[in-house]
A and B are shown apart, each in its own frame.
Chain A
């Protein structure tokens, strides 16, 4: 999940989950990018049913703040930390602070970041994102940064793969995109 300049958020995820401890069956599940409200988005890993229970709409004078959405996740993830296993990234746009990315890792802390990665393949791409990320990227740069990061992770991580689902979040709303398996960015290979 990346935050662009004029407050554009690019969020992406792959679509696989593995069943059992052997990890050799993949289920192409519809989505792990869930819409929380018309604007803030959540990208959850692991416990899939959890991300379906959490989205709810909040009636306020203004659309909910990204911080608020993230805090709701944090409250639940911290309170039930012994019972839950979920690493969450909440990204969205609000009128006060524009585009924002909040990480709620396992354990239930909450921190705002310029960009965030998580999930099983994320370990392989920390170096890539640290080297490539620049603050103030354009919408296209953010989307390709996100797609490239995911493609690299999917290449190396046995538990990741399939297609990339991208979402660009702005003041105007959310625009989804899919990068299919045969269209993925390619890098060096033997």
Chain B
């Protein structure tokens, strides 16, 4: 099955930013190098998924239809990021309880009623919110870096958040063997959703010359 690696998320003053690379891996094979693992749910919410890509496509189909149905109701309401997160938690837990999980770990980012939202749901139905989030290898490699920055400065600006994400994506590309140097960034503010990509990180391999034993 085709899988995606880490998804990162960081809150800032006035919104959230999430990022995920554009790779669909088939075991160790970098099979699909131009796929998007981020979806725009509505003007307030974005969702990034790691894990099984077919299950992500299924989720996307279901969520897109939910949004259409809500639009058709025409009652002036739109799903909040928290509502999507809550629904997804129940949906994922329900599947896990039937022993047929959606094999994904999902990050939901949004901005609604003047507040940033950043939530996590995994295939077991475990769910939580935090100012910084990361799935997969990102949880081990990027999360410590993100938390360190926020400990010093709890409220970031949009540019600081973006810089932090970029730094983390660089480190993930160096260290995660199932990552790829091509990623997308989704930023949600009161203005709406902006998905940037494909982006790439600048890598510096000078350290290679300092390593002894490979002459």
Instruction: A105 to B53: give the CA distance in the assembly, Å.
Output: 11
Contacts A105-B26, A106-B1: A111 and B54 contacting too (C-beta < 8 A)? no
Q: Are B29 and A126 in contact (CB under 8 A)?
A: yes
Note all chain A residues with C-beta closer than 8 A to B35: 111
Q: Are A107 and B2 in contact (CB under 8 A)?
A: yes
Note all chain A residues with C-beta closer than 8 A to B2: 105, 107, 109
Note all chain B residues with C-beta closer than 8 A to A78: 54, 57-58
Note all chain B residues with C-beta closer than 8 A to A105: 2, 26, 31
Instruction: A107 to B54: give the CA distance in the assembly, Å.
Output: 6
Q: Are B57 and A109 in contact (CB under 8 A)?
A: yes
Nearest A-chain residue to B1, judged by Cβ: A107
Note all chain B residues with C-beta closer than 8 A to A108: 54
A25 to chain B, nearest CB (A): 28
User: Which residues 15-62 of B have a CB within 8 angstroms of A?
Assistant: 24, 26, 29, 31-32, 35, 52-54, 56-58
Query: Does A81 make an interface contact (CB < 8 A)?
Result: yes
Looking at A81, A107, A108, A113, the one whose CB has the most chain B CB atoms below 10 A away is: A107
Query: Does A38 make an interface contact (CB < 8 A)?
Result: no
Note all chain B residues with C-beta closer than 8 A to A106: 1
Contact digits for A108-140, partner B, Cβ 8 Å, 1 yes 0 no? 111101000000000100100000000000000
Note all chain B residues with C-beta closer than 8 A to A109: 2, 24, 53-54, 56-57
Q: How many residues of B contact A (CB 8 A)?
A: 14
Q: Are B57 and A110 in contact (CB under 8 A)?
A: yes
User: Which residues 54-111 of B have a CB within 8 angstroms of A?
Assistant: 54, 56-58
Nearest B-chain residue to A118, judged by Cβ: B31
User: Which residues 122-162 of A have a CB within 8 angstroms of B?
Assistant: 123, 126
Instruction: A110 to B55: give the CA distance in the assembly, Å.
Output: 11
Instruction: A123 to B30: give the CA distance in the assembly, Å.
Output: 11
Instruction: A86 to B30: give the CA distance in the assembly, Å.
Output: 19
Instruction: A128 to B52: give the CA distance in the assembly, Å.
Output: 27
Q: Are B53 and A107 in contact (CB under 8 A)?
A: yes
B187 to chain A, nearest CB (A): 25
Note all chain B residues with C-beta closer than 8 A to A113: 32
Nearest A-chain residue to B57, judged by Cβ: A109
Note all chain A residues with C-beta closer than 8 A to B32: 103, 111, 113
Instruction: A126 to B26: give the CA distance in the assembly, Å.
Output: 13
Contact digits for A85-112, partner B, Cβ 8 Å, 1 yes 0 no? 0000000000000000001011111110
B5 to chain A, nearest CB (A): 16
Please give the residue numbers on chain A whose beta carbons come within 8 Å of chain B beta carbons, in ascending order. Answer: 78, 81, 103, 105-111, 113, 123, 126
Interchain Cβ contacts under 8 Å between A and B, 19 examples = A78-B54, A78-B57, A78-B58, A81-B54, A105-B26, A105-B31, A106-B1, A107-B2, A107-B54, A108-B54, A109-B2, A109-B24, A109-B56, A109-B57, A110-B57, A111-B24, A111-B32, A123-B29, A126-B29
Q: A-B pairs with the 6 shortest C-beta distances?
A: A107-B1, A109-B54, A107-B54, A108-B54, A109-B53, A109-B57
For the A-B complex with A78-B54, A109-B2, A109-B53 known, give 19 more contacts whose Cβ atoms are closer than 8 Å. Answer: A78-B58, A103-B32, A105-B2, A105-B26, A105-B31, A106-B1, A107-B1, A107-B2, A107-B52, A107-B53, A109-B24, A109-B54, A109-B56, A109-B57, A110-B57, A111-B24, A111-B32, A113-B32, A123-B29
